[in-house]
Structure 1
Amino acid sequence: MQNNRNYFVAIALSVLILIAWQFLYVNPKIEADRIAQEARQAQQAETVKNAAGDSAGTVNVSPGGSAAVPGAAETRDLAVAQSARIAIDTPAVSGSINLTGARFDDLKLKEYRETVDPQSPVITLFSPAETEQGYFAELGYVGNDTSGAVPGPQTVWTQSAGTTLTPTTPVTLSFTNEKGVVFERTISIDDHFMFTVTDSVRNGSAAPVSLASYGRVTRFTKPTTPSAYVLHEGFIGVLGETGLHEVKYKEAEDKATISPGKATSGWLGITDKYWAAALVPPQATAYDTRFAHFTDGRPRYQADYKNDAVTVAAGQSTEVKNLVFAGAKVVPLIESYETSYSIPKFDLMIDWGWFYFFTKPMFKLMDYFFRFFGNFGIAILLTTIVVKLLFFPLANKQYKSMANMKKVQPKMAEMKEKYGDDKMGLQQAMMQLYKEEKINPLAGCWPILLQIPVFFALYKVIYVTIEMRHAPFFGWIRDLSAPDPTSLFNLFGLLPYDVPHFLMIGVWPIIMGITMFLQMRMNPTPPDPTQAMLFTWMPVVFTFMLATFPAGLVIYWAWNNTLSVAQQAVIMKRNGVKIELFDNMKGLFSRKPKPAE
């Protein structure tokens, strides 16, 4: 029992450490990051207002091209109106392509809104470089002295075919330099978020030309909401044999330039929680890659590549094909792109984490139920049942062990009287009793411990997948990926004032705490005061801890506890063991707790 007590004390200390870590470090750090981000944005806005130079910027010959240093526009609409453009209109996106640089810098996602309010603005992904929230993708070339002018950030392309880019109507742009080299660019888009950019280069000059294509994704700000430690936001890419590369914004700021090296296949870009912009370079030609943070005039982040130069003989032509993904990270869609376009490990754009082999199947199961019932909350409930069935043999064994332990409590009481202060003898005798009766003294902890990997996987699914974003349940839960919006401390909205964030203890966290309390009261009250205190206060601690978690996760935990109580009651009844719940509840409100049987 001494080891048992120490075990529970260790759990209590661990919980206290987690709480202290959350309130003393994580919450202050999030607030500090938010303040620092606001200060950076204010500084960047001031820099933009004072910046001089051409809005198209310049390009150098370092691997991956370079970034633009734009001037400022008063509004996004004004920035869009300042240049000639080709409209984009598909079921999923709207916007335009800037003919200066053939740049993708105006893109909105029609199917997603900023809040759960259906009247809120749609999500804006790309914006012109002249705006504070500048974010764009660009493809171009780097030449040499003999090639003449080549398409870059300042190149003004001519619209030669097509008026509006739609899934059924591609557009064609052209540019001819002073030496007779003709660049013809055809841009097409599917029904969702994948652009295909095919360049035809015809050398009409009298001498060979050397060209290296480049691509870049550039943004001038990073997400204002600090991301959780379980999610990667920033630079991302799968680059040849070196595999997945993930670089946080902070790491790029510290190192300025990170060069993963050459690759002959793969993709790279910038990812947010739900959205991403990525380039898929030509897969047959080796290319250099770079993740960089520039501070020359205006801070910005850039993922870029530059292909090895190719020589086009006089009178000959070559073709360069790129893919540009810009949109929402919808799981089935990302997987279909990986297959249909043969993009290596494109599914890693979604951060499944180290336990992807568990997290991803859980999402698949939830998505399967969602397609039948149209509600991710119901999908969570049904997924919980499936998980309970999978773990049933192990949980059943543990509950039986707990039931057997209750049967031998009279023998344990006799041993305590027999050995008195001989703790070593009592410990050995109890271990022998456990062995003879096939009892696991820690069986009561296993039902909770078994939830931890499931809990983490479900948390990951709810937090990172866009399918869960703004997914309603019933009643007041309009977004399963956000915390329960109600609070006990303003009587769940009846009182007309807001409460501090750490006091947002909603209805579902309280339900979860009650179910956890009932689950722990299914067993006799521990005779040790430390254990008794732990069992009493743990539901309260978990209620406060989980109140800030996504509502979908809290609903899962409450439902799982409810199923566990029912399962344990059935097993105890079958084994002829008294269910202690009602006696424990009576003892809780009496002055003298009922002693363990």
Structure 2
Amino acid sequence: MENNRNYFVAILLSVLVLVAWQFLYVSPKIERERVAAEALQAQQPAQTQATGTGNAAAPGAVSGSAPGGDAAIPGTVVAPAGSLSREDAVAQTGRISIDTPSLSGSINLSGARIDDLLLKEYRETIDPTSPNITLFSPAAMADGYFAEVGFIAEAQSGPAPGPNTVWTAAPGQVLTPTTPVTLTYDNGQGLVFTRVISVDEHYMFSFEDTIANSGDAAASVAGYGRVTRFFKPKTQGIYVLHEGLIGVVGEEGLQEVDYSDVEDTPVIVHAKATAGWMGITDKYWAAALIPPQGAGFETRFAHFTDGRARYQSDFKTDSMAIAPGGSVTSKTLVFAGAKEVPVIAEYQEENNILNFDLMIDWGWFYFLTKPMFWLIDYLYKMFGNFGVSILVTTVIVKLIFFPLANKSYVSMANMKKVQPKLEELKAKHGDDKMALQQGMMELYKKEKINPVAGCWPVLLQIPVFFSLYKVLYITIEMRHAPFFGWIKDLSAPDPTSLFNLFGLLPYDVPSFLMIGVWPLIMGITMFIQMRMNPTPPDPTQAMIFTWMPVVFTFMLATFPAGLVIYWAWNNTLSVIQQGVIMKRQGAKIELWDNLAALFKPKNKTT
């Protein structure tokens, strides 16, 4: 029947889209990512750092480019990866403690770098006793990761504070949102650097540097900043999310560089810009540098294998001239923390950071994903449960599309009512397909029926499905967000499985057999929705009609539980809506006949 054919075309299209999502966006490429850091080569002996050591060139500068291309980590005591515990690595150098509502850790006086940072409000698992998330670690550790801001001076100006420099700090200082800390460095040749580091209650550090020239000659100093990571983290390996090096570089806009891309092209240099930021991002966490805005700077993404492999995002500013007896001040911001949507948006607005919100991977369809997040987040603040807010969001979306969906269901109901007339046309025209098509079009026009109207409810669900999936997958607000019962994390798959009777049997099942309660509920609601229509007479269509819910049940079992709950609830509302409309239109609801036919004995012929 024509309406069945259109309906199944829509279903097949939706299946193809979902299969593509599963293949391109969902299935993790675990084998593709290396978990361990690259083996150390050409180990450097430990070197003793001395106060007052500066760098006359950019740390690791290559042909005047940004820092990072040296044979060893400049100014850092590099022990073999994994040879030091965190406590021992931290204890190697003088430090200033960090204590805020969101962060704890310390600043390394060697290089004045942030290389010891934990996130107080986030833990590794849903267990409240699990360790806090570690963002930064000292370079001597296998998972070394830090942010650093320094300077480069011309030879005649004397050394400038770089990675080797041990800054001077008054004892007893602790960095808090209300107590900035002050560091100083005198290069002994007329330049005195005074650094004031402050931090807010969230994740933004401010490095405000004043350079005073007490010498007799003019000096020239450029600034640099770098975020350096000594290991390649295990990434999700899916195209719906970017993890790796990231930045917004002036008119060039958003730059996303995967770890594998920068391995293939070890140094990626961008044109000079006066606005933007750069850093390294994970799924939920990020570290980013915001150079002085309005002044020129060059940005680079790099991967170095000279001695010890590392990934780096860095910048180098234009040189600043400092007249004798004069001084200059520059301010660099360092973001290090969780990618919380409202916090990122506030930083962008308050500090006028170009497209800082793109640190969160909203994707090409940001015009859908961002409004979807704001709606769910608003409802969460109202109801206190993200699962409930997803259910309410589904109702709101259904109401928004109600006129179009209602028209589609009315047209589908009318299609059922004219089935006898369609059968008459088929009997009348026989094998004359042209005449049959003309007769059907005239009948549709007379009865005011749109033969493709049945596709709309399915097609409308696809962009909503995708935007909700994106929100659940990328936003930290959904991380470890509980629903009710056994769903402790809406961003993770349903943890139960039919194949061990949902935990009653004492054994674990393979991941591909993790068919939880909510995927089963979703499959049942989809089965009921499809059985609202007549079973197609064509054997192939009938097979698809029967097995589609089973395929979707297995497919969506690997998706975030919040998405499966949305799909099940949406199916339920669609069944109710379609049933009411068909009853009002006087069309027969095929559900009960289809269910009875499943259990009716088949006639066997001999």
Q: Which amino acid aligns with 2:443?
A: L
Deviation at 1:234, TM superposition (A): 1.1
The one of 170, 178, 199 equivalent to 1:168 is 178
State the 1:99 CA deviation: 0.1
Q: Distance in 2 between matches of 1:28 and 1:89?
A: 39
Task: For residue 115 of structure 2, give the secondary structure of its aligned residue in structure 1.
Answer: strand
Alignment of 1:131-530 (within 5 A): 131-160=141-170, 163-530=173-540
Deviations 1:252-289 (A, max 9, x none): 11111111211001111111110010111011210011
Deviation at 1:529, TM superposition (A): 2.1
**TM-score normalised over the length of structure 2:** 0.92
Find out whether 1:566 has 2:576 as its counterpart. yes
Change in 2 beyond 3 A, CA 1:49/1:10: farther
Residue aligning to 1:71:
79
Query: What is the match of residue 96 of structure 1?
Result: 106
SS in 2 for 1:146: helix
Structure 1 Cα separation of the partners of residues 420 and 584 of structure 2: 20
Shift of 1:528: 2.2
Query: Any conservation in 1 of the 2:7–2:454 contact (CA below 8 Å)?
Result: no
Partner of 2:40: 47
Q: Distance in 1 between matches of 2:219 and 2:288?
A: 29
Flag structure 2 segments of 5+ consecutive residues without an equivalent: 50-54
Unaligned runs of 5+ in 1: none
Query: Shift of residue 26 of structure 1?
Result: 8.2
Change in CA separation of 1:265 and 1:55 when aligned onto 2, cut-off 3 Å: farther
- C-alpha distance 434-530 of structure 1, shift in aligned 2 (>3 A): farther
Secondary structure at the counterpart of residue 289 of structure 1: strand
Quote the Cα distance in structure 2 between the aligned partners of 1:284 and 1:16: 48
Counterpart of 1:64 in structure 2: which amino acid?
A: A
Q: Deviations over 1:48-107 (max 9, x none)?
A: 795545498981333322265333342122111111000000010000000000000000
Whether contact under 8 Å (2:372, 2:467) holds in the other structure is yes
Q: Does the Cα contact within 8 Å between 1:269 and 1:278 map onto a contact in 2?
A: yes
Change (3 A) 1:570 1:419: same
Question: Any conservation in 2 of the 1:182–1:203 contact (CA below 8 Å)?
Answer: yes
Tell me if structure 1 keeps the 8 A contact 2:3–2:451: no
Contact 1:55 / 1:130 at 8 angstroms: preserved in 2? no
CA contact (8 A) 1:101 1:153 kept: yes
- 8 Å Cα contact 2:494-2:557 kept in structure 1: yes
CA distance in 1, matches of 2:593, 2:312: 64
Comparing 6-15 with 96-105, greater Cα deviation is found at 6-15
Tell me by how many angstroms 1:435 deviates: 2.3
Aligned equivalents of 1:571 and 1:254: distance in 2?
A: 58
| 1:398-443 C-alpha deviation (Å, 9 max, x unpaired) | 0000010010011111122222233332233222222222222233
User: Are residues 170 and 26 of structure 1, via their aligned partners in 2, closer, same or farther at CA, if it must alter by over 3 Å?
Assistant: closer
CA contact (8 A) 2:14 2:462 kept: no
Shift of 1:121: 0.3
CA distance in 2: counterparts of 1:28 and 1:359, whole angstroms: 21
What CA deviation, in whole Å up to 9, does each residue of 1:223-275 have, x standing for no partner?
21333210111111112122211111111111111112110011111111100
Q: Distance in 1 between matches of 2:203 and 2:48?
A: 27
How far apart, CA to CA, are the structure 2 residues paired with 1:562 and 1:137?
A: 50
1:86 aligns with 2:85: no
Shift of 1:459: 0.4
> In 2, are the aligned partners of 1:280 and 1:322 still within 8 Å (CA)?
yes
How far apart, CA to CA, are the structure 1 residues paired with 2:140 and 2:326? 38
Amino acid across the alignment from 2:66: G
Change (3 A) 1:226 1:54: farther
SS in 2 for 1:450: helix
Deviates more, 1:389-398 or 1:70-79: 70-79
- CA contact 1:162–1:169 (8 Å) conserved in 2: no
Q: 1:195 to 1:161 in 2, by over 3 A?
A: farther
Alpha-carbon distance change, 192 to 31 in structure 1, aligned in 2, over 3 angstroms: closer
Q: SS state of the match for residue 333, structure 1?
A: helix
Taking a change above 3 Å as real, the CA distance of residues 161 and 287 of structure 1, as seen in their structure-2 partners, is farther
Matched, 1:121 2:124: no
1:540-559 correspondence runs (5 A): 540-559=550-569
> Is the contact made by 1:55 and 1:129 (CA closer than 8 Å) also made in structure 2?
no
Secondary structure at 1:153 match in 2: coil
* Post-superposition offset of 1:590: 1.2
- The whole-number CA distance in structure 2 between the counterparts of 1:508 and 1:115 is 22
On the 8 A contact 2:303/2:312 being kept in 1, the answer is: yes
2:110 partner SS: coil
Alpha-carbon distance in structure 2 between the residues aligned to 1:49 and 1:590: 76
Cα distance in structure 1, aligned partners of 2:331 and 2:469 = 39
Report if the CA contact (8 A) 2:284-2:475 is conserved. Answer: yes
Change (3 A) 1:258 1:26: same
Residue type of the alignment partner of 1:171 = V
| C-alpha distance in structure 2 between counterparts of 1:436 and 1:502, whole Å | 51
Q: Distance in 2 between matches of 1:456 and 1:382?
A: 17
Aligned CA distance change for structure 1 residues 212 and 124 (closer, same or farther; 3 Å): same
User: In 2, distance between residues paired with 1:216 and 1:31?
Assistant: 29
The corresponding residue for 2:52 is none
What's 1:59 paired with? Answer: 59
TM-score (structure 1 length as normaliser): 0.94
Shift of 1:3: 10
Work out whether 1:587 is the aligned partner of 2:592.
no
Q: Distance in 1 between matches of 2:242 and 2:278?
A: 14
Alpha-carbon distance in structure 2 between the residues aligned to 1:287 and 1:26: 35
| C-alpha separation in 1, matches of 2:48 and 2:410 | 72
Residue 449 of structure 1 aligns to which amino acid in structure 2?
Answer: L
Cα distance per residue 1:477-527 (max 9 Å; x no partner):
000000001111111111111111111111000000100111111112222
Look up the equivalent residue of 2:31 and give its one-letter code.
A
Superposed displacement of residue 390, structure 1:
0.4
SS at match of 2:196: strand
Contact 2:93 2:110 (C-alpha < 8 Å) held by counterparts: yes
